[in-house]
Chains A and B, each alone.
Chain A
Amino acid sequence: MPAILPRIKEKRIFMNTLDQFLAAAEHPERYAAKLKSEGASIIAFLCSYTPEELIHAAGLHPMRLFGTRGPIMRADGHLQAYCCSLARGTLEQALAGDLSFLDGAVFPHTCDTIQRLSDIWRLNTSFGFFADVVLPVKLDSKSAQDYFADVLGRFKAELEEWTGREITEDSLRRSIETFNAVRSSLERLYRLRSADPGIMAGSRMAAVIRGSMIMDRNELPGMLDRLIEEAESGIYREPPGKDKKRLILSGGICDHPDFYTALEDSGGVVAWDDLCTGSRFFNGTTETSGNLPAALARRYSRRLICPAKHLSTTARAERLLEIVREHRADGVIFFLLKFCDPHAFDYPWLKEFLEKHNVPNTLIEVEHQLPPEGQLKTRLETFIQTL
């Protein structure tokens, strides 16, 4: 593997940017320990609709959880085996004591599973702060918008009560600016990579996104600027793979760096995605003037829709097709977690819609572990050969 040598060389020189993301993504608990030693209070979340800006403005550190890739045992006593591995895996970590660095958790309304996980979490853990943020499910009406802003107002008050500190207009505005900067940097990086996928390996791009949901938000904008500069200078460049097929990854979360590697080895590359751990996370910016909770509500309602929310009956498929066209993709891979209802319900329709528009697609269903490497590669290669 000739690629190994230059990679090792880069590592030594640029230890402090990409590698920081890789380290945080791979070992969030170590990163959390470091934050804690600096006095941070860490609030966990599991969903890209979490109003992280408010948590940050309260002086707390929002950290996304992704579940475990290890065995699930303790959670079995609370969640049946037909529950998605994200919910089970996260509960497992909490019950096993792997999340002792947490000061609390927040559960926005997502799917049925998360609603129940929230109750079970509250009844079986004792982290300090806990909140349900019961967001509206439909995002297409004025009354839903107003309710959204009201719910954020309630959450803000709950944070204030717990910290004993007011979240000022200024601090919230600064937080919004920070998150806007992070989101637009991530989008810039995605665009650079869409134009030239060799700029950085997919598994590394995924670590950057994941790291951005874990690391110190105050440092992130600067780090991402640096990372983009470095990426543009070509230091993270992968050896050119010839004629890689451009694919869109669509689904909930993809917490499997190995998947990107397997795909690249099979002749494909993720040119863009429609994932919670991807473009759904950074899509759209929040206005920084006027009523700020209302502005947050607007951004969360207008961004790329998740299937657990309702905008219209066709919005998701249309946006997915736009993504395919904008990024000149050769096909779509649906990457779905087993037992994830919202995504499983959308799949037949998305598939049909794509087929109507001659976009080849395939489905990969995973639990907390990927299918065995050989099997996965065969499936990917078979799909890619048809493109």
Chain B
Amino acid sequence: MPVQVITGNHAAGYALSVAGEANRTARGVACGIYPITPQTEIVEYVAKFPFSKGRVVPVESEHSAIAVSMGASMSGARAFTASSANGLAYMAENFMVAGYYRLPIVMVAVNRTLGPPWNIWADQGDTLMLRDFAWLQFYCEDNQEVLDTTLLAFRLAEDQRILLPVLTCMDAFIVSHTQTETALPEQTDVDRFLPDLDLPHRMHYDEARTLGGLAWPHEGLSMRLEIDEAMKRVPDVYQECRESFTDIFGRDPGDVIQRFGTDDADLVIVASGTMATTAREVVRRRREAGEKIGLVKLKMFRPFPDVALREACQSATRVAVLDRNYAAGAGGIFWQDTRAAFQGHRDDVLIQNYLTGLCGGDVTPAVIDEILADLTARAEAGDPVWMGIETGRETLQ
């Protein structure tokens, strides 16, 4: 398949477009879009794409962008959109509605710091803010993974056993605006990979129905449980989709977690996004020097792959969880879910949180080395460690 030097945004726009085009044999594509740095090139791409059936609707805000996508999805069209940071925040009101309606929408998010203060650089806090709302979430480390995962997302979302929307994420600028060689699949192969969308609860002109109307407590409870059951089916369905993808495109899109050197690792780094790329290089170097160290890259964050994570850390005694995000009053978000996954199963493991790369900081190999030095020297796990800044001083006089 042709390889081009393109940005992560270009890769995402391409994936969304060819996926939408693949539904031309059914209800086609329709969606709402709105730009925000650093995602703008994605919506520019899809806005220019010559869809055979359906159209992209530029609207006046993110709130409307997802609303239009939801309406499109409800009527059976393949729908997608893209956003970032405060744009996602503006979408928030409709975001969980898409999840609770079980609409198979795919959104590409470029992880950017939520302001204030005003900051356009990489931080995962924006998509993590929305982690509770019945969307699947995937964190990608490079262009190819963004493209592949986005295509995979449609297959996964639209599977009748899942029927939940999917978020694919990439770090602002580091992936979104960096040009690297990326393989672009042909439309014909995408057509094979993505069957026509057949939404069981789609709206029909001649069939009156209500979606999401008033529900009594027990009905609401059932609907929440229904979502949980769908979430629980994701790991298995993911594997099926992954096999099909590998088969058709000749490339493995990757497992929900990706292990490097973890089989015999004593120290394990848990990371996501481009931090995982950097951590992998450090791990590779140290393993060559004989250290028993491994990397777990968390690709899927929702549903949280606790079983796979515990499996990967079987031999670990110490785990460093890297978070390019911060939940005020609690700490890193990947760390919280990691601790919860180990609780009661592996209480012997020392799990330490490292907050690094927040607000766009550059996570270099030197930082990883510092983290490993701290992890090694610890007697016990403590509060999240803030990398790259002094802590402990009073801020208010």
A binds B: no
Interface residues of B (CB under 8 A from A): none
Interface residues of A (CB under 8 A from B): none
